[in-house]
A and B are shown apart, each in its own frame.
Chain A
Amino acid sequence: MTDSAEQGGETPSRRRTRTGLLFALIPVAAFVVIGVFLFRGLSLDPSEIYSVLIDKPAPAFDLAPLPGKEHGLATSDLTQPVQLVNVFASWCVACRVEHPLLMELKRNGTVPIYGLNYKDQPQAALNWLRNFGDPYDRIGSDLNGRVGIDFGVYGVPETFIVNGEGIIVRKITGPITPQILQKELLPLIAEMQK
């Protein structure tokens, strides 16, 4: 069949073959585009939701302390040049993973850490802090999780970096890893404290 097409030999059919080649290239071109995106996709996390609160003021809230603790947590407490607001809960397995790093930050006095105790039994939270250590300067008890939702929380732990004007600068979803701490968090904090 191929040869019969070529035997046609007249100009129109040759022109047709050329446009045919052009059309025949479309699928492979489309695939290249899709392939590039798929490759990009391998290094993206589909379930991470970019916070819409970045560069916006932290939501207004005023949470009571855990029983027996002195300080609760409110928007008006976010006055340091830089502070972390860490969403945690005793039922949260991954919170245990990042906990030693928070303790280390606390020991070094790098940055004030405020805890948002998300949908937790206060007693369970207190036990948890007693067992593993308490890295928080203030803790607000978000019993019904509404403040969490105001912060756009969807998977604990989450950490918000808030500046002196109470603006959310960055959000880390999921546990802080040593890598995130060294590569992103510490440089950012140092920059903001300048």
Chain B
Amino acid sequence: MSRSALATLIGAALLILSLPAFAIFTEKPLADPEQEARAQHLMREFRCLVCQNQAISESHADLAGDMRAIVRERIAAGDDNDAVRQYFIDRYGDWVLLDPPLNRKTILLWAGGGVILLVGAGLIFIRMRRSTRSGALGQTALSEAEKAELERLMREQG
């Protein structure tokens, strides 16, 4: 499903969102290669607002082209990266950043994986300690039921 659904949706988006014709990518890079490199890098951070999870650096959408032009303009005008980011956040909100900023709204997102990892590791640690301890108490011998079970299994498979 994955890509095909994506593609269908991209198609739907193009038709329905009333976008102007395909962007002509007549984009002139900035003269200063270092500035252009910064611009290219920043373009990967911004979301193409009318696409599915695409950065503006990778989108044919017209709006993405305008946003690329703005990135270059701001940089040529001497903005630092944060100022360029702020420019778009002021207009489109945090949504425009593909990389969600760490703040109170996203704390769960950024911490979630770590919390699960620690909880999981903690549980495993407790289980292992418990099993080692009960092992030391000599629990390894089989109960009657287990012996019967084992015998049944051997019969079944052997």
How many pairs, one residue from A and one from B, have CB atoms within 8 Å of each other in the complex? Answer: 60
* Residue A150 at the chain B interface, CB threshold 8 Å: yes
Bitwise, B38-69 to A at CB < 8 A (1) or not (0) is 00000000000110000000000011001100
**B135 CB → nearest A CB, Å:** 14
Contacts A52-B90, A152-B92 given; does A4 touch B18 at CB 8 Å: no
- List residues of chain B with CB within 8 A of the CB of A52: 89-93
* Residue B20 at the chain A interface, CB threshold 8 Å: yes
- Segment at the A interface, from B25-33, B75-83, B101-109, B143-151: B143-151
Interface of B is mostly: helix
Task: Count residues of chain B with CB under 8 A from any CB of chain A.
Answer: 23
Interface of A is mostly: loop
* Residue A94 at the chain B interface, CB threshold 8 Å: yes
Contacts A145-B66, A149-B70 given; does A7 touch B18 at CB 8 Å: no
Bitwise, A115-132 to B at CB < 8 A (1) or not (0) is 000010000000000000
- List residues of chain B with CB within 8 A of the CB of A146: 66, 70
- Segment at the B interface, from A32-40, A74-82, A85-93, A105-113: A85-93
A119 contacts B145, C-beta separation under 8 Å: no
Q: Which residues of B contact A (CB under 8 A)?
A: 16-18, 20-21, 49-50, 62-63, 66-67, 70, 89-93, 95, 123, 143, 145-146, 149
Q: A52-B93, A149-B66, A152-B93 are in contact. List 10 more A-B contacts (CB 8 A).
A: A3-B145, A49-B49, A49-B95, A52-B91, A52-B92, A89-B18, A91-B21, A145-B63, A151-B91, A154-B92
